[in-house]
Structure formats: structure tokens, C-alpha cells
Amino acid sequence: MTKIQQYVANNFGSLPDMVREHAKLRPEHIAVRHRDREISYADFDQAMDRFAAALQRDGHKPGDCVSICSLSSIEYVIGFLGTLRAGMTVVPLAPSSTPKALMRMIEDCGASLLFIDAASFDELEALLGDAQTSIAGLKVVRLDLQTEFEAFLAEDPQSFEAVEILPEWNFNIIYSSGTTGTPKGIVQSHRMRWPMMVPGDPMGYGPDAVTIASTPLYSNTTLTSLIPTLSGGGTIILMEKFNVLGFLELSEKWRATHAMLVPVQYRRIMESPEFENFDLSSFVLKFCTSAPFSAELKADILKRWPGGLIEYYGMTEGGGSCMLVAHEFPDKLATVGRPLPEHEMFVIDEAGNPCPAGQTGEIVGTSKAIMRGYNNQPEKTAETEWFAKDGRRFIRTGDVGRFDEDGFLTLMDRKKDMIISGGFNIYPSDLEAVLALHPDVKDMAVVGIASDQWGETPIAFVVLSEAASIAADELKQWCNAQLGKTQRLADLVIVSELPRSAIGKILKRELRELYSA
């Protein structure tokens, strides 16, 4: 029995151990590519040992946190997995964070070691001086300076003292995107990550997988494709920043088989006049998550892009997740699919009672893939929990939706984004769906703004297509003519673009602030 077979039999294996086995089985196979550089599994495994040994040399212990704030690179992936190999917790931070938010995250996780690149260092140099003063012992290492990174690594990989990684140890702390304000540290264990690594996974992440990682490594979205690719012995192709032509060129050059993209990336790819010029026939599966994914866009991808399409719906916090195998259920493209095996999900009403099929309520879910909690925030953790009558712990998604008779889930909106106007519930997604029907509308978002008369009232922000010339008032009148009396827009604002997070989520909080200003 191979080591990997033993992990399966024991229903647990760690990601660093899986990589170690692939380094033995296929030492020359490429693990990671970035720009014109690549690293084999044998060299990758050795670099992880040198990184882990350096952590031990400097007095870091299992359970300690190591932060990384950088664009994607081979060194980033070495640091990520090297930290795990030492039994420590990875805390990937968003370079786009404000200085104050970054300071809070470093202090919250208690990291005494921060890895950073030039792009982040230039933006945060002043902050780092303050951080090293206020956070005792904080050491900063540049990932992008080869001499500095090499100097940090232990010279002898064999100086690493092996650590047995336990299932309940922390794998990572991922801070929420901040779309709702101050980020919260989501603590995920190695046990939670194991289902992504199970060999024989039907998603085709085997040794021949070639996955394009075009979203940031601090995002759980990216990790849901990076982890199964490396645990399966495949190759990850890193993009520092997404652009359509670059993605298409890499996909054709390296015969990509897998990609995890967010809806705005899919839209830009499918709208590109260059799309038809590239051979994408190598694709086995494409994935999507993190933001609303329109049925029309899914249908276009299925029609013109080879390979299957799978949409995941879930939260970084875990709990229940749904999967829509779009190529198998083309009549269900308006849904996010059905709960994954061993995932249980309900829709509950305001009183916390499960709702029948067809009734709208808040979505809750549970599974083995569930966060331990928010780091140092037990009150916030309690707020996101819902307990069934038998005591089982579920995660409240904050999303509103309904299950149909076939068990497929349709999302309505974020609960916090629902607009209550004159006592009526208005779902922004309903209004956005109407706006999307107008030929001059390229992108849109609807938010609720405080109103003395109605409590709240809906406001639309619209990005027009390149050739459009329609006025805001004319578009508002057209939209309101399609809506019910209680749904009508109070105002419509034309903007050049919508504010989005690095993984494509529309920052509705910023739109509310923009309108209020």
C-alpha cells in the first residue's frame, strides 16, 4: 500500500505529505510555473523543507502564525506549504488592504513573521515601520528579492525536524474580503481541507492536471483549485494579475485542463474578440464561485468553450456548499445546484424554522468542511451559527434563497442587501435582472439607500455598453415600467465601472457610501 493509499484508508492526509509523495513518484514533474520560471516536485519538496527548517531554526513552533502579503509567485507557494510542513498556520493577507486593516490583521493573528513582495512593500513601507514597533519581534522578509529569500532559507533541507500534522491543527486563517467592513479571521483546520485532497476526486485533478490560478493566493477561491492540483500531483500555472489575453495565451501554451474563475473574469473572456482565436480544447473542467453567475453567461460558456462547467456555492467559513454541474443540468442554469454529498442545507424563516421547497428564507448549512470559528471573535462566531434541534452546528450564510422540488437552490440576495421599502421586501437581484435585459446595459448593481418616506429605497448603478448613449432618466423610466409599483427605482446612476474586490465581488457598501456622499 502506498502512502497516499494509507492517507485515503485513514481518511486524512496533510497537503505537505501529499506533495512529498508526488516528489518521490514523479520528481521531475513540474509543480508550479510562473512567468518563465518553473519548479519540479523534487525541488519544490526540498524548498519546502528548507523553508520549514528556517522557521524551526528561528524558534517558531507548531501553531504559530506566518503571514504572507504578496502577489502570486513560486516563492509564495513555497512559503505557504513550507509553513504548513512546519505545523504552523498560514495567514495570507490581501495586498489591497488598507494599512490600518493590514495592521489589525497582523495583530489579530499574532504573526511574528511577514513575507512581502515589492508591490506590497512600496505601498506599505511606512506601515511596516510602525508594525515592527508595535508588534514585538515582527520580522519582515522580501519574497521577491532572491538574495534575501535565499538567505532566509535553511542551507540544509535535512535540518528540518519532521512534524506530524494533526487533523485539528489550524491550516490557515483567511480574513474576509472586507466587503462588509472590518475583516474577520476565518480559522480553517487541516481536517476541513482534507476533502479537497482526496485522490480519485471526480473533478479530474490528477497528475496530468494543468490548472491556471488567475485569482490571488490569499483568496479561498484560489485555494479550492490550488490545493487539489498539488495534492493530486498536477501543475499550477500562476498569474500575478488576471488579464484576458494573458489567460488565453497561457491556457493554449500549456494545454490547461482546469481553471477556477469568478463571473466577471468569465464575462470578460467571453466578450473578448480574441476568444475564438485560441485553442482551448484541452480543458476538462472549468469552475466558478464567489459571486452571482448569470444563467445567460453559463449558457454562452457551455456553447463556446470546450470542457465541462461547474459552479460552487458556499462560504469561506464552510458549512454547506452546493454544486451545479452545468453541462449535465442545462435546464437548471438559474440555480447554484444541489448540496454536495455529506453537506446538509436548509432555508430557514425569521423564527429559525426550516422552510418547505419553494419558500424563501436564509440559507444555512453544515458538513465536515466547517470553520473552527472567527479568530479571537467568539461573539461574531456565535452570530454566524445556527443549531438544529438535534444540536448539530450549521453556518448561517446571510444569503436568501429557495430550494425547488428537485433540490436545486436559487439565490435571491444577501440578507443584508435585501431592501425593505414601505414594509415590502425588495430583492436587488430582481431589479438587476430587469436592467440586464436592456441592450445598452453592460453591468449593474442595485442597493438600498435610507429614505425618510419609505425607510429604504432602491438605487441602481449602471455601466453602459461601449456604443450606448441612453440617458440615466430614460433608462430608469424603462426599468420602472417593467417593475411592480413597490419595486421601482428611486434613482439610477451611470458609472464607468463598479467597485469590486480582487475576486470580483461588487462592493455594495462602497456604492452606498458613494451615493450618500
User: How is residue 160 annotated by DSSP?
Assistant: P
Q: Yes or no: say if 195 and 88 are a contact pair by the CB < 8 Å rule.
A: no
pLDDT digits (tens, 9 = 90+) for 166-205: 999 999 999 985 444 567 999 999 999 999 998 766 588 9
Identify the pLDDT of residue 177: 56
Percent of the chain residues topping a pLDDT of 70: 95
pLDDT digits (tens, 9 = 90+) for 260-287: 999 989 999 999 999 999 999 999 999 9
Phi then psi for residue 397, to 5 deg, are -80, -25
User: How is residue 78 annotated by DSSP?
Assistant: H
Using the Cα atoms of residue 307, residue 308, residue 314 and residue 320 in order, give the sign of their dihedral. negative
- Choose the weakest-confidence range: 130-144, 326-340, 399-413: 130-144
Cα 279 to its chain centre, rounded Å, is 27
From the number of C-beta atoms within 10 Å of its C-beta (0-12, 13-18, 19+), residue 145 rates as middle
Q: Does domain 339-413 have CATH number 1.10.10.10?
A: no
Identify the pLDDT of residue 422: 78
Q: How confident is the model at residue 136 (pLDDT cuts 50, 70, 90)?
A: low
pLDDT of 496 over the 90 cut: yes
Identify the pLDDT of residue 503: 82
Q: Where are the domains of the chain?
A: 3-198, 339-413, 418-516
Identify the pLDDT of residue 407: 97
418-516 CATH pick, 3.30.300.30, 3.30.465.10, 3.50.50.60, 3.40.50.460: 3.30.300.30
Q: Where does residue 23 fall: left (phi above 0), alpha (psi -120 to 50 degrees), or beta otherwise?
A: alpha
pLDDT of 128 over the 70 cut: no
Q: Between 72 and 177, where is the model more confident? A: 72
Average pLDDT, the chain: 92
Question: What CATH number should be reported for the domain whose range is 3-198?
Answer: 3.40.50.12780
pTM of the model: 0.87
pLDDT digits (tens, 9 = 90+) for 433-448: 999 999 999 999 999 9
Question: What's the average model confidence in pLDDT over 90-108?
Answer: 85
Identify the pLDDT of residue 182: 62
pLDDT digits (tens, 9 = 90+) for 304-341: 999 999 999 999 999 999 999 999 999 999 999 999 99
Q: Yes or no: say if 163 and 87 are a contact pair by the CB < 8 Å rule.
A: yes
